[in-house]
Amino acid sequence: MYYFWKMARELPRPPKEVDLHADAFIHQLDEYEADELLAESIDLLREMLDAAIYWDYPEIRFIHGKGKGILRKAVYEELAYYKRSGAIANYHPSYRNEDVVVVVIGL
């Protein structure tokens, strides 16, 4: 029998900082529409944030960049949901680089 805890234990540790720009993790960008790339970036954010929560990271950083602000807006909307649900304590722009959001997981 395969238990959930065993499956969850196989969840890899995420990096401390994750670049959400599609070109950082998708190799054939021309096969995607803009909205699909945005969805892939948000999926990566969820995957890495869930893993960071699981591994009890105190915080994790996500690079959203400048651009038109579309990715940044989507990232902040997703983080607002995580905060409302109680999964994270807080999030804020990095004091050193406003193109990065710092997610505080525990208090």
Range of the domain at 60: 17-26+38-92
Instruction: Give the Cβ contact number of residue 91 at 10 Å.
Output: 22
What is the per-residue pLDDT across 69-86, written as a single tens digit (0 to 9) for each?
A: 999 999 999 999 999 999
**Number of domains into which the chain is organized:** 1
Which residues, at least 6 apart from 6, have a Cβ–Cβ distance to it below 8 Å?
none
Domain for residue 74, yes or no? yes
- Residue 107 covered by a domain: no
Does 101 fall in a domain?
Answer: no
pTM beyond cutoff 0.85? yes
Which H or E run includes 25? none
| In a domain? residue 97 | no
66 band by pLDDT with thresholds 50, 70 and 90: confident
> Is 53 a domain residue?
yes
How confident is the model at residue 9, as a pLDDT? 59
Cα separation, 56 vs 12, in Å, equals 13
**pLDDT computed for residue 11 by the predictor:** 78
The confidence score (pLDDT) of residue 74 equals: 97
Closest C-alpha among 9, 8, 10, 78 to residue 49: 78
Q: Is 88 part of any domain? A: yes
Is 12 within the bounds of a domain? Answer: no
pLDDT digits (tens, 9 = 90+) for 3-55: 444 455 567 999 999 999 999 999 999 899 999 999 999 999 999 999 999 99
Residue 88 C-alpha from the chain's centroid: 12
In a domain? residue 49: yes
